Amino acid sequence: MNLKDTNIIYLLSRITLVFIVLLLLTRILGKKQMSQLTFFNYITGITIGSIAANVVSESNQPFSDEFIGLIWWCVLTFLAGYIGLKSGKLRQIIDGQPTIVIKKGKIIRSALKSSRLNLDDLSMMLRKQNIFSIKEVEYAILEPNGDLSTLKKPENQQISKSDMNITTPIPKYLPSEIIADGKIIWHNLNELNLSEDWLNNQIKMQNISSSKDILYAELQSDGTLFIQKN
């Protein structure tokens, strides 16, 4: 057997061993890594993959060193998960804790800032849950894994209209942002064929002197304007 054949067999042996180890480790760690993907889980998953790739590709490095590094990183990940199960305080440090971003129908600006979210991000996350108006939300909680959990206001919770013989009106507009952080969203205003004079009248009707005093304003499906001040 020549040197080239020996190197191929050695490489295949490394790949096979890493494959088996990763298969076993994903059986232990994989369910939480995927179902509860916090930022910590995300980083550890990427690191495990990176170390495994180095074990396979870095033929000039001692195999034992790279392999021990892979095993030890997985052991640390497992220990962090086990500690999180046993201690609530340490779990908050490792995984983080939920953050209330809408409370009793009001946007918590300080919570958005601490979570590094802007109003566009919040609106996008609500739309993913088929919520097109912030006015419908009683509570919204940003989970440690980045998902947004919402509780609608009682009057906006789902109900079978056919069971109650209620006629469903056709909405005049798609709920859209009009003002965010005191700035008018001109693109949306033009899309909806609404004028600046109309907007100023709506603002004055709610006893607000300027759009700069508004944190968030949203056109409702019936044509009214929902406003939250700074």
pLDDT tens digits for 6-29? 667 777 777 787 788 777 776 666
Tell me if 99-156 shares its fold with 171-229: yes
CA distance 51 to 56: 9
- What are 195-214's pLDDT values in tens digits? 999 999 999 999 998 888 99
Choice between 190 and 2, residue whose per-residue pLDDT is larger: 190
Q: Under CATH, which number does the domain 99-156 receive?
A: 3.30.240.20
Task: Enter the tokens of residue 120.
Answer: 């566009």
- Distance between CA atoms of residues 70 and 62, nearest Å: 13
Spell out the CATH class of 171-229. alpha beta
pLDDT reading at 46 higher than 70: yes
d(CA 22, CA 43): 16
pTM of the full structure: 0.59
In the chain, where the domains are located: 3-93, 99-156, 171-229
Please give the Cα distance from 13 to 18 (Å, whole number): 9
User: Which residue in the block uniquely carries the two structure tokens 């990940």?
Assistant: 77
Phi, psi of 180 (to 5 degrees): -140, 125
Q: Which residues contact 59 (CB under 8 A, 6 or more apart)?
A: 7, 10, 11, 14
Half-sphere exposure in the Cβ direction for 206 (13 Å, CA) = 17
Cα gap 57→14, rounded to integer Å: 9
pLDDT in tens, 97-156: 788 999 988 999 999 888 888 888 899 999 988 898 888 899 999 987 788 989 888 777
Instruction: Indicate the burial class of 15 (C-beta count within 10 angstroms; 0-12, 13-18, 19 or more).
Output: middle
Q: What is the DSSP string of 94-158?
A: HH---EEEEETTEE-HHHHHHTT--HHHHHHHHHTTT---GGGEEEEEE-TTS-EEEEE-GGGS-
**Which tokens in the block code for residue 109?**
């600006």
